[in-house]
Amino acid sequence: MSKKAVVEVEELHSSALEDIELERTLWEHAEFVAKSSGMFYLHGEVTAESALELIKEMELWAVTNVLSSEPSPQLTLHINSEGGELAAGLSIHDTLRGLARMGLQITTGVRGEACSMAAVVLQAGDRRLIGPASRLMLHQVSSGGAGTTAEIRRQSEHLQATDKAIAELFAKRSGKFSVEWLEKEILDRDRWFTPAEALEVGLVDGIA
């Protein structure tokens, strides 16, 4: 390869690196602006690690803004998640409700899908929204339990109690059906909802 060709390749490589660095910088700036504006994102699987990171970010923002002079700061959580770990999802839900008691106005919104535990997190919003092309999915709590017969029986009892608690949460937020009906007609299988269906049964407050 000639010396000129080598120089041209090096220049192209340098230009490409500069473009990548610029894109990274712009993305980091956009992310910073979003978080500074009270916008947060729950994307992908709900895990202990992702829940902890999200909770720390929201609580830090909340403390800063509750102490400011702005009345009723707005926190928005955008959701696009297939669900995930039970404890992780419940920790996000309960954190959001705790922030609401601190005086924040919480909006949760689905942009894609909110399945399983992500649908539970959605219910934490004072205002719950869903995009016109998005969807919800509810079902029973699942577990890959193993052990002795007695251990499996205790695990089953725990899962049943958890299912009932989650059914009560959905029923309370909906205000349109009983816990017993929800457990029998909705949570005994994977149940998908279009935006219109979710709005009709009270799982969201609006389509936007």
Tallying the residues shown for the chain, one arrives at 208
**Residue 116 annotated as catalytic:** yes
Tell me which of 139, 143, 158, 174 is the catalytic residue.
139
Tokens at residue 132, please? Answer: 């016109």
**Tokens 């993305």 — which residue?**
27
Q: Name the phi and psi angles at 200, rounded to 5.
A: -65, -40
In this structure, are strands 105-115 and 135-138 parallel, antiparallel, or unpaired?
A: parallel
Short-list 79, 181, 178, CA closest to 120:
79
Tell me which of 50, 81, 116, 134 is the catalytic residue.
116
State the CB neighbour count (10 A cutoff) for residue 38: 19
Tokens at residue 201, please? Answer: 């049964």
Check the CA dihedral 172-175-179-182 and report its sign: negative
Contacts of 85 (CB under 8 A, 6+ apart): 46, 47, 48, 51, 117
**Residue 158 annotated as catalytic:** no
Amino acid at the residue 115: C
Number of H helices, E strands in the chain: 7, 7
- Active-site amino acid positions: 116, 139
